[in-house]
């Protein structure tokens, strides 16, 4: 079908469709000629799924991209049965300290962090600010992250010695890569093999495994790198391999 027919079949405008293709949410159309693009049922199915995830689950496009695509750009398999898995995972991922969501302004007041700094931490991806009820909110995990940042500043990791907001931007970049690999792998391998309760339990167990294993790996690597620097007496640059 042509673009006009795809628009009619899905109710999605051509500029949005082109944007989805550029962003990797939709596969490229077949192009028998330079100025001719042909779309198929796969495009209709994917567009309907994207709209469903947006309208029913209120998911951002970054998460939708992870759900609907794998590393090769193909559909991530039988994941449709697990759409909404985050709702089943929620009760299993309680903080333990039962922290409630807080308004950003209240987090600034409670932690002593400047409100502009909290917004900058969101800009670099360290936290995510939710817009609801006409205000800015942080969920319990993001509240805890800001509490940790406040403690690190009290410990001496301050902007005065070079630990600015921008110093933290590498961490969300690494987390994004790790999360994408984990999420796509989970949906691709198990999307058509488990019902939601079983998948939620397994996913949460995997999250807990990662949350224990990754910090240990990081600590071990940092200690070994410090040992290498002590042995060599040479301080490498960020681009050097230690």
Residue with tokens 């007041």: 109
> What distance in Å separates the CA atoms of residue 89 and residue 92, rounded to the nearest whole number?
5
CB count within 10 Å of CB 190 equals 17
Residues 179 and 173: their CA atoms lie apart, in Å, by 10
Tokens of 10: 């899905």
Question: Which position has the token pair 């907001």?
Answer: 165
Residues 6+ apart with CB under 8 A from 128: 122, 138, 139, 142
Predicted confidence (pLDDT) at residue 66 exceeds the cutoff of 90? no
Query: What is the per-residue pLDDT for 138?
Result: 93
216 or 82, higher pLDDT? 216
Q: What is the pLDDT of residues 102-144, one digit of tens each?
A: 999 999 999 999 999 999 999 999 999 998 888 999 988 899 9
DSSP character string of 122-146: HHTTSS--EEETTEEEE-HHHHHHH
CA angle 64, 68, 71 (to 5 degrees): 110
DSSP H or E segment with residue 59: none
Q: What pLDDT is attached to residue 197?
A: 83
pLDDT band at 74 (very low <50, low <70, confident <90, very high): very low
Q: Rounded distance, CA 219 to CA 41, Å?
A: 49
Task: Identify which has the larger pLDDT, 124 or 236.
Answer: 124
Mean pLDDT of the chain: 84
**Which whole number is the average pLDDT over 202-219?**
90
Q: Kindly report which listed range (59-68, 86-95, 170-179) carries the lowest average pLDDT score.
A: 86-95
Give 25: exposed, middle or buried? Use CB within 10 Å, 0-12, 13-18, 19+.
Answer: buried
Phi, psi of 135 (to 5 degrees): -140, 180
What does the pLDDT average to over 76-84? 60
Q: Quick one: what percent of the chain has pLDDT higher than 90?
A: 45
Residue 71 binned pLDDT confidence (cut-offs 50, 70, 90) = very low
Taking phi over 0 as left and psi of -120 to 50 as alpha, with beta for the rest, 133 belongs to left
| CB contact set of 74 (below 8 Å; sequence gap of 6+) | none
Which residue in 82, 88, 76, 85 sits closest to 45, CA to CA?
76
pLDDT for the residue 73: 44
Of 28-42, 63-77, 162-176, minimum mean pLDDT range: 63-77
* Predicted local distance difference test score (pLDDT) of residue 124: 93
Q: How many CA atoms lie within 13 A of 212 on its CB side?
A: 5
> pLDDT tens-digit profile of 26-57?
989 998 888 889 999 989 988 988 888 777 76
- Residue 27 DSSP label: P
């Amino acid at each position: 079908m042509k673009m006009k027919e795809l628009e009619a079949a899905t109710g999605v405008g051509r500029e949005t469709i082109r944007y989805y293709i550029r962003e990797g949410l939709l596969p490229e159309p077949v192009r028998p000629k330079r100025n001719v693009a042909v779309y198929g049922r796969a495009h209709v199915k994917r567009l309907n799924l994207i709209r469903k995830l947006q309208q029913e689950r209120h998911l951002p496009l970054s998460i939708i991209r992870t759900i609907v695509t794998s590393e090769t750009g193909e559909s991530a398999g039988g994941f449709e049965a697990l759409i909404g898995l985050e709702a089943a995972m929620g009760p299993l991922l309680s903080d333990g300290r039962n922290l409630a969501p807080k308004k950003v302004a209240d987090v600034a007041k409670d932690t002593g962090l400047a409100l502009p700094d909290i917004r900058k931490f969101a800009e670099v991806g360290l936290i995510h600010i939710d817009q609801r009820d006409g205000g800015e909110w942080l969920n319990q995990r993001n509240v805890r992250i800001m509490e940790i940042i406040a403690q690190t500043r009290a410990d001496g990791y301050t902007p005065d010695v070079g630990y600015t907001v921008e110093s933290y931007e590498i961490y969300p970049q690494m987390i994004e890569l790790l999360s994408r690999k984990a999420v796509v792998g989970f949906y691709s391998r198990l999307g058509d093999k488990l019902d939601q309760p079983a998948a939620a339990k397994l996913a949460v167990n995997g999250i807990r495994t990662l949350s224990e294993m990754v910090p240990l790996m990081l600590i071990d690597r940092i200690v070994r790198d410090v040992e290498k620097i002590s042995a060599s007496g040479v301080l490498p640059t960020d681009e050097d391999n230690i």
